[in-house]
A = this chain, B = another copy of it.
């Protein structure tokens, strides 16, 4: 796919007034994106288009699913709101690529479902988009709108890769850099989709922990164990993040590490109290820290005489 920057003004997020003169790090950048940003983004997609009412029965869902589970309480809220006050924001659809007279949702799936259930037309903007532009728009709208969890974004990225999109497209759809997308691919490569679905959206479980889980699951017998843990009745009654934690805990007890010998710590002080020392020793090493008045000088003395000391140690060692 050689067509780049098709919606350059949208996809590049080139809102220079918001671009700081210094790097914005981590969680803060995510949180700065506000509803206003979202409104602006959707606005650019729909700029200059008119809104029409469409029969929901002529509308099909997107060819990429983006949400892992549906919060039926939130859907009931939306239903009630639309019933009372109509539909606040229009959805975006494109003419169906295969079927004349029908439309395909770019974003607004739940609003369509609510309108259908209410027996009402849905307010929509119709725009001709190719597949690539469609998935980028859908991805960006959903990323901004619901603050999808790491694993939901990762699953979306996996589906885009499975559909054949290149990394640049996926990066645009998720507003993510190459490293982030790569980690999503690693996780969804190592953890089977079935396991991910059984865990669920796991709100508040971040990338590092998913990576950790993916490495655990890769070990022998752990996949079977994981399914056993998820089969347990009490596990499935937990919410999604608690299921994640239960799975992690369960896999960790099977993958016991060889425990290192515990470091022992003692102290030493010179007879004249001008030096204090911290000593740590275990089966694999030794550590000596000297402090107070003469500590540095005594330390250099020790350092200068390590060869001689080592010779003496070897002799004493032989006799011992």
Contacts and interface: CB of A to CB of B under 8 A. Distances in A.
Interface of A: 15, 17-18, 20-22, 24-36, 38-40, 43, 51, 71, 73-74, 77-78, 80-81, 85, 88-90, 145-147, 203-204, 206, 238-239, 241-242, 245, 266, 268, 270-271, 275, 277, 279, 281-292, 294-303, 306-307, 309-310, 313, 316-317
A290 B285 contact: yes
A286 B281 contact: no
A39 B114 CA distance: 15
A289 B285 contact: yes
A289 B286 contact: yes
A146 B35 contact: yes
Contact of A147 (B32, B71, B88, B290): B32
Nearest to A311: B271
Contact of A20 (B239, B275, B295, B317): B239
Contacts of A85: 51, 90
Given A285-B289, A295-B286, A43 B81 contact: yes
B313 A301 contact: yes
22 contacts: A20-B203, A20-B239, A21-B238, A21-B241, A22-B245, A25-B204, A30-B31, A34-B145, A34-B146, A35-B145, A51-B85, A85-B90, A88-B88, A268-B303, A281-B296, A284-B291, A284-B296, A285-B289, A287-B287, A287-B290, A287-B299, A288-B289
Contacts of A31: 27, 30-31, 147
Contact of A242 (B20, B73, B292, B301): B20
